Structure 1
């Protein structure tokens, strides 16, 4: 590794990032337990698979509403204070969920509240992380660490989350999640620097969103990120896909784990062996590859081959870390919270729509494997023109460091 590509230890040497990373990691672990606990709790109370699914869907709905409407708060208030306030609010809301006997309607309201509060917190966390690093390569490495940590915890959640929740009970699992938010509140308040408000009222409430759609580079990056909605189709079809390839119910968990495992490995390889500038140049190629791999499901693969394909798609899908980091660097600081809200909301919506449409197509065609292959074809069809557009933009300013290019953009967004 050359000096331009810092090690993870260099990232963790930054005290406030170390605090924010720890806070995020333990909170994500708690959230994994909470999701399982809520579904088990609701199913036990109602004996309704629909109600259990509704609770899960509410987390998506609240993220959609909060991401578009509340992320701008990260540009209107001190970001550290916003993270602290939101974490404290989430601790209270999840703590109320943990009270035995809480009615299902109240649980639904609390779940919506947690999701709404989470959106500005994530926007603030994302924006303040970019402010912690003046070096692009060091910042990108920090995002690698976050991505690897998040997906590793998701894998652990798949492997043991259900067993742990059954062992300690849903209420205790929710109480544990509430405790993680208390820890986050204290850690961020104590060790993350207090910075002044980044934005102003003249930027407009949706200034970040307007900027993102008016800036060509941002539009290409958004396209490449929302492409993930097609790559996740196999996850939504894990059960019918397992039966289609002869793996039965036993293969469902393996198919679900293959993509995040591949993502972790891909993120590590990119972080360890590929330079930051090269990673920025090849994001389109990797995105195209992630879709192309899925086309091979038309061959009706065996379980082993299917796992290899999904792991490879996940590894190539680690390009998303670079896309997100590049988008954040490109975005002016004063509108970064609102712009990230649009970015993340679109990403979540694309995943939800992709899974739903994938299920509908599989139901209509009667073939889960061909549906996955079709998703791959569509992904490639979208990725290729986006890749060409990104390559052209890169040729224009290849000799100029990304941070210098970013400073050339207007600092103010259109006013309302």
Structure 2
């Protein structure tokens, strides 16, 4: 079983553990920052802006610095970024820190998250082989979702009953521990790109847009614009249903729990040769359950809808990252994957805000349903690109045209 084979790899266990710790710490920080800013300003707008600063600069960091993980040893990039972020987050715990300084530190930490994710995703592809990669991504995605749940739940309790500064201190500690573990237990690997292969900002965009396969995957990262609606509107949705506030946690947990099960089944039962066909189906299917919230049925029906949509979205993400990791040449892998991963996060942040604006006009139930319809319609773009790419690859193989096969299969790209 591939999942057990992946778990036997020490380097995978270490990198997954450190990323889990970082995810938990990040959620601690988000909870703490919203509490601190609201306490200082009593402004919902500034609180929302600060929360946005934990996401939006990530894209800029990925565009500007992801190539560093191709020009420097990836392990060292991860260790350095974690060490710098540990110091920056620790500085946020200083009592009476000015709001301006707090926002600058938040934005800087988010900015560094871009190259961190690029280096981490590229290093994961170095650790596991092609046959293990999808299983490794499924395990990673499941662990990250569990980390988000733990971070939000425990962070909320600590921030409200103890102190938001304690949450920030825990986040700083997770970065420091992660740096130590990666430095101690992950092997050194040489630089992937030579000086002549160093890429520019424009190259970072071109590397994820040079071929139908890459374009399909890059387009699929934007699906978070619509698929974030259930999570971002869960509180007003539960209130509108008249259900207990406890259902907020249950509905959020449903997505993570069902995703964990679904990704395990994907890695266990879907053979590698069928995953190419599964990707466009997952893209189209992820938003399809959401309009069912209009049928009513209470929180139990919502539990099924949220869980099913979250699972299909998680499968889409795992398949897309797995394919992209294989398509990109090693000298450009960190840059391409960093841009794609950061675009996904940025789309989620913007999507959460858009869902709130729509819900203000239509109501949360209707906004979730509309987001589902929009997600399905938008998914026609990556699905059609992927199907055309697959058809082109088969035609090229049938004709024995090696140059066309290279174009469709994601041969090394020039940027």
Fold shared, TM-score > 0.5 on shorter chain: yes
Residue 45 (structure 1) aligns with: 40
User: For the aligned residues, what is the CA RMSD?
Assistant: 2.4
Shift of 1:264: 2.1
Q: How many angstroms apart in 2 are the aligned matches of 1:398 and 1:208?
A: 28
Structure 2 unaligned regions, length at least 5: 398-404
Equivalent runs, 1:186-201 vs 2, <5 Å: 186-199=180-193, 200-201=195-196
Residue 262 (structure 1) aligns with: 258
**Cα contact 1:208–1:336 (8 A) shared by 2:** no
2:330 is the alignment partner of 1:333: yes
Q: Deviations over 1:327-360 (max 9, x none)?
A: 1111111111221222123212222232222222
After superposition, the Cα gap between the structure-2 partners of 1:58 and 1:347, relative to the gap in structure 1 and judged at 3 Å, is same
Shift of 1:86: 0.6
Residue 212 (structure 1) aligns with: 208
Residue 86 (structure 1) aligns with: 81
After superposition, the Cα gap between the structure-2 partners of 1:272 and 1:405, relative to the gap in structure 1 and judged at 3 Å, is farther
Structure 1 unaligned regions, length at least 5: none
Residue 349 (structure 1) aligns with: 346
After superposition, the Cα gap between the structure-2 partners of 1:408 and 1:63, relative to the gap in structure 1 and judged at 3 Å, is closer
Q: How many angstroms apart in 1 are the aligned matches of 2:382 and 2:120?
A: 28
**Cα contact 1:242–1:255 (8 A) shared by 2:** no
**Cα contact 2:21–2:147 (8 A) shared by 1:** no
Task: Find the residue that maps to 1:227 and give its secondary structure.
Answer: helix
**Cα contact 2:121–2:334 (8 A) shared by 1:** yes
Shift of 1:407: 11
Shift of 1:397: 4.3
Q: Deviations over 1:128-154 (max 9, x none)?
A: 1111123x2212111111111111121
Shift of 1:48: 2.8
Q: How many angstroms apart in 2 are the aligned matches of 1:92 and 1:327?
A: 33
Q: Deviations over 1:193-245 (max 9, x none)?
A: 22222123444313232121121101111222322321111222223322332
Q: How many angstroms apart in 2 are the aligned matches of 1:279 and 1:164?
A: 42
Greater Cα shift, 154-163 or 80-89: 154-163
Residue 96 (structure 1) aligns with: 91
Residue 359 (structure 2) aligns with: 362
2:306 is the alignment partner of 1:310: yes
After superposition, the Cα gap between the structure-2 partners of 1:27 and 1:349, relative to the gap in structure 1 and judged at 3 Å, is closer
Q: How many angstroms apart in 2 are the aligned matches of 1:413 and 1:258?
A: 43
Equivalent runs, 1:159-198 vs 2, <5 Å: 159-198=153-192
2:122 is the alignment partner of 1:121: no
Residue 367 (structure 2) aligns with: 371
Shift of 1:89: 0.3
Shift of 1:108: 0.9
Q: How many angstroms apart in 1 are the aligned matches of 2:154 and 2:87?
A: 26
Shift of 1:396: 4.7
**Cα contact 2:2–2:268 (8 A) shared by 1:** no
Q: How many angstroms apart in 1 are the aligned matches of 2:224 and 2:259?
A: 12
**Cα contact 1:29–1:157 (8 A) shared by 2:** yes
Q: How many angstroms apart in 2 are the aligned matches of 1:57 and 1:193?
A: 35
Q: How many angstroms apart in 1 are the aligned matches of 2:339 and 2:387?
A: 24
After superposition, the Cα gap between the structure-2 partners of 1:119 and 1:388, relative to the gap in structure 1 and judged at 3 Å, is closer
Q: Deviations over 1:289-320 (max 9, x none)?
A: 22111121232342211121011111111221
**Cα contact 2:29–2:171 (8 A) shared by 1:** yes
Q: How many angstroms apart in 2 are the aligned matches of 1:408 and 1:231?
A: 28
2:134 is the alignment partner of 1:137: no
Normalising to structure 1: TM-score of the pair? 0.89
Task: Find the residue that maps to 2:34 and give its secondary structure.
Answer: helix
Q: Deviations over 1:264-288 (max 9, x none)?
A: 2221221233223323320211221
Task: Find the residue that maps to 2:289 and give its secondary structure.
Answer: helix
Greater Cα shift, 334-343 or 251-260: 251-260
After superposition, the Cα gap between the structure-2 partners of 1:296 and 1:91, relative to the gap in structure 1 and judged at 3 Å, is same
Q: How many angstroms apart in 2 are the aligned matches of 1:87 and 1:204?
A: 24
Q: How many residues align?
A: 404
Normalising to structure 2: TM-score of the pair? 0.90
